[in-house]
Amino acid sequence: MMGSRGRSLVDEHAVRARNTEAPEIDRIWRRTGALFAPYRWTLVLALVLVLITGALGVLPALLTQQAFDRGLFPLEGGGPNLVALWWILGAMVGVLLLNSALTIWQTWLTVLIGNSVTADLRVRLFERLQQMELAFFARTKTGEIQSRLQNDVGGVATTLQSTFTSIVGNVVSTIAAVSAMFVLDWRLAILSLVIMPPLVLMQRRVGQRRARIATQTQQSLATMTAMTQESLSVSGVLLTKTLGREDESLERYREANREQVRLQRRLAMMGQWFFGVVRVVMGMVPVVIYLVAGFLLSGGADAGGALTAGTIVAFTTVNSQLTRPLTGLMRTGLDIQTSKALFARIFEYLGLEPAIRDPERPRTPRRDRIGELEFEDVTFRYPDQDASERPTLDRVSFAVRPGQMAAFVGASGAGKSTIGYLSARLYDASEGAVRFGGEDVRMLDRGELRGDLGFVSQESYLIHASIAENLRLAKPDATAAELEEACRKASIHEQIRSFPDGYETIVGERGYRLSGGEKQRIAIARVLLKDPPVLILDEATSALDTVSERHVQRAIDEASRGRTVLSIAHRLSTIRGADVIHVLDRGRIIERGTHEELLARGGAYAELYREQEPRGASE
């Protein structure tokens, strides 16, 4: 069940949506229209074709009147006029062929525009998401993001492909049909159009209900996508299998699927009764026309002779043709109201403003100070941290000289990893300054800054591709010799050579086909291939067994030569040789010095060392 907090948030969003619905809809359609700007001339050509095909659509009905009144049953009397009939029938065939050819051309242009706009929209959405800061992804489910990129963009594709040309085409066809009806007989035209206002009002109400259901459907689909991503990833499968929770996971998915099916069914059926009414009403119009025409002819009300057999047949033909564009307009109206929810979700992400941006005039780090890193009175709170809570980092200051190895140790939650995140400007300091190469990192171009940094975390991320492809993420043009040299330095080359496919071995999702030590050494080889002046090691060996740690530590030692190194460590054995060790406790640096100095001091570091290395501490 949804808690009171969940209900209050839902209610709050509902009230806000009602209060801002009209201006929001206007903004959505303005932004949607802007998507078509790069294809304006193709769109103009498509609209011209729509206008032509719409106008041609009513010609067969008018030619039908001529076929009756001039060819089959000439008003001047006598038998059929076969010469006139042949010309009229030839014109009808010509109009049909021309209309068909132009319709095919117009459809091709429409599909071209729609697919292009959809592709642009998906790329823009992906680009905007890539610009977002790390905090956004920390608080947003991956499945939710995937749902916006795939389900929501896919959901509006049909609307983007056909809406504008459909509206114009149906409007033109409607105007042409109504005009032809008034030309044929204004009395019957008025009679036929009396039913339109009630149908339009009904369509509006149906569209509003359909839009609400569409929003619920997309939210449900996003939930299912997130559930699939979490449950069927390698980590998710391991979790459910090791805990023996496959049945519970399946039941959760089954329940979410039932809800999705229920909503999809409601969405599909919403409006079907309305269109059933439309079909019945429009189908009854010819019956009424024949009845009224009979009264007019029998009562002498048509003494002028305007009502002929050809006129009545042509009028009912035009009226039947009016059903298609009117129904099309109503369906398009429903589609627009339905897709409003999808556009709103997409533009919500497109409207996101990254918390971390490049400056308008970025500075360049001093090349003679590359590798120099300084924290000056840095205080930091994560975005979801309450202001009343103790900050993650509290007035932290230190300086690392080029080529120096600085280590950061402390209990979990002390703020060690946060120092690495701030150094790479994955977050910005709440207070104080982080400087790289003598410049505030907020004044540097992020791409240039991160080009000078190599990051190796505890969980090395590998994509589902070959080892070579994973390595070339750091240097796309790297040669095979460069790959092998980096892997030799990372003590993994011989291991890779032992695989049947060597460097073309597929590592599996997140590298699960490799051991933890192998993944870490490949990650280190990737950093060596990048060859950055600064290396950040975020507990890179804490999750490894002793043998793997020894191999990885040897690779780290090789990678550290000649570089500035920030080593965020859990195991103190890995940082004994550091030039300076900083001990953090609850966001503050409480001790600093070399391994020997800190042991001699007998403080927090010495206590940590005694806990991890009891024999070493007593020696």
DSSP character string of 336-395 = HHHHHHHHHHHHHHHT---SS---SS-B---GGGTT-EEEEEEEE--TTS-TTSPPSEEE
Q: Are strands 534-538 and 564-568 parallel, antiparallel or unpaired?
A: parallel
Asked if 560 and 582 count as a contact pair (C-beta separation under 8 A), the reply is no
Looking at residue 588, what is its pLDDT?
93
614: number of Cβ within 10 Å: 9
CATH topology for 368-451+568-619?
Rossmann fold (3.40.50)
Distance CA 179, CA 544 (A): 81
Distance CA 600, CA 369 (A): 33
Backbone angles phi, psi at 444, to 5 degrees: -105, 155
Distance CA 150, CA 139 (A): 20
pLDDT of 177 above 60: yes
Query: What are 403-439's pLDDT values in tens digits?
Result: 899 999 988 888 888 998 899 888 899 999 999 988 9
Query: What are 338-397's pLDDT values in tens digits?
Result: 677 677 778 888 888 888 888 888 888 877 788 889 999 999 998 877 777 889 999 999
Q: How many helices (H) and strands (E) does the chain have?
A: 23, 10
Residue 367, burial from CB neighbour count under 10 angstroms (0-12, 13-18, 19+): exposed
Query: What are 123-170's pLDDT values in tens digits?
Result: 888 888 888 888 788 777 777 777 777 777 776 766 666 666 667 667
Rounded to two decimals, the pTM is 0.65
| Cα radius of gyration rounded to whole Å, the chain | 36
Looking at residue 160, what is its pLDDT?
67
Query: What are 20-33's pLDDT values in tens digits?
Result: 344 455 566 677 77
Give 28-350's CATH code, choosing from 3.40.50.2000, 3.30.1490.390, 3.90.1150.10, 1.20.1560.10: 1.20.1560.10
Looking at residue 398, what is its pLDDT?
94
Looking at residue 443, what is its pLDDT?
92
Looking at residue 178, what is its pLDDT?
79
Residue 4, burial from CB neighbour count under 10 angstroms (0-12, 13-18, 19+): exposed
Q: Which two tokens stand for residue 375?
A: 């924290």
Query: What are 508-524's pLDDT values in tens digits?
Result: 877 778 887 888 888 88
Domain boundaries, the chain: 28-350, 368-451+568-619
* Eight-class DSSP state of 71: I
Q: List the beta bridge partners of residue 575.
A: none
The alpha-helical segments, DSSP class H, found in 299-354 are 309-350
Higher pLDDT, 569 or 22: 569
